[in-house]
Structure 1
Amino acid sequence: MKLCMFHPVDRPMERGWVGRVEDDRVVHLAAQTLQHFFTGGARAREHDEYARDAVRLLAPVPHPPSIRVFERDESFAFANPAAVVGPSSEAPAPASPLVVLPRLAGVIGAEGTIAGVTLFLEVRAAGLDPPKDRDFALGLGPVVVTTDELLGSDLGIAVRVDGEERLVASASGVDWETMRRTAAAGTLLRTGDVLAAPAVARVEGLALPARIDVDAPAIGVLTISVG
């Protein structure tokens, strides 16, 4: 199942509605947020249907309780939930050149399990010291694909900058259970927490402004404009 937050293009909303993406349509589900959908047993009454080109997709978890960015399966750093931006968003950048690190991210569902996977684009300003170098733009979306649907899927990722392909890499082999266990040790994982897997590669030297597309066939295309 592919889940999203969305609003009709003629009815802009900051938070939007929960939806299920099915080919060229989006089905509106009766849940306040994706977190409520997961804690409600991943079931919800269906409302109206919309053509895919009649809606705008938003960040599937616009305000995660926490974001953990893993560089290895057992080592992570916290990132800023306020820096999350959704598909087709624009984000300011404090400096250039930029470095982008495309990742997969697991979204925590009920009972601390990983309910689904989405794309995560970490944008860094190369001239700033950590952690402020990545404190301004963390792309999330366009949809969350439930883990059962991802089995056997192509987890390749391509990155395009201003339409030019800059990277093609495999995102297979993520050890989600080790990451989840590391994140949960000594604490409580909340529904909507984001676990960003190690980056598949780096794309460096981006000048401002830049339009960045992260394309994963199993998930979709996450587009962020920075600058």
Structure 2
Amino acid sequence: MNPVVVSYQDSLLRRSDVALLEGPLWLNDQVIGFAFEYFSSERFADLKESVTFISPEVTQFIKCASCPEELALFLEPLGLSSRRWVFLAVNDNSNQTAGGTHWSLLLYHRGSNHFAHYDSQSGGNAAHARRVAHKLEAFLCGGGAAPLEEEQCPSQQNSYDCGMYVICVAEALCERVRAEGGPRLPGNTITPAYVTQKRAEWCRLVQSLAFH
């Protein structure tokens, strides 16, 4: 038995997903997708007109899609052309199925027409981020090229917290959008201890939303 623990907007978390969050374990698509859904619907709902979060499953589809027409049909409803910032969680899996061993965060800035890549394993996902960015150029930049910059990112100190770093970095960037009107990663705040604390906070949030 693997019962549903939380049903939130378009996200479902089963018992096995919640166990990953309780960890310390590597997070899967469902947990990161839930966090992005929560950011969009609740935590940063006031930024909905300018910020969008793409679920890990959709990002993987974008990366692996071979047909531009199919991709166009898929992305059209997301209204990406009207968003100032687009957040995507990038996985190092090379095929359409869920899996992989590492997560990183890709952010598109419309104002400066460039992608920023935040990788807690210093560039380990660079090739995968570039594949996603290249596929999105036609939909975000009117077909023109958008450079990708590897950004300074806090480093994970273990093999399993990459997904938590994606969630924490995305949250910190959105907080700066709200406070300053643009995403800028604050220095020295996302430490290993902070990430561990945030994991516990997400566990408590899931418990508060769980079916009773």
Instruction: Tell me the TM-score normalised to structure 1 length.
Output: 0.30
Instruction: Point out the structure with the larger strand share.
Output: 1
Q: Which is bigger in relative contact order (C-alpha 8 A, separation at least 6)?
A: 1
TM-score by length of 2: 0.32
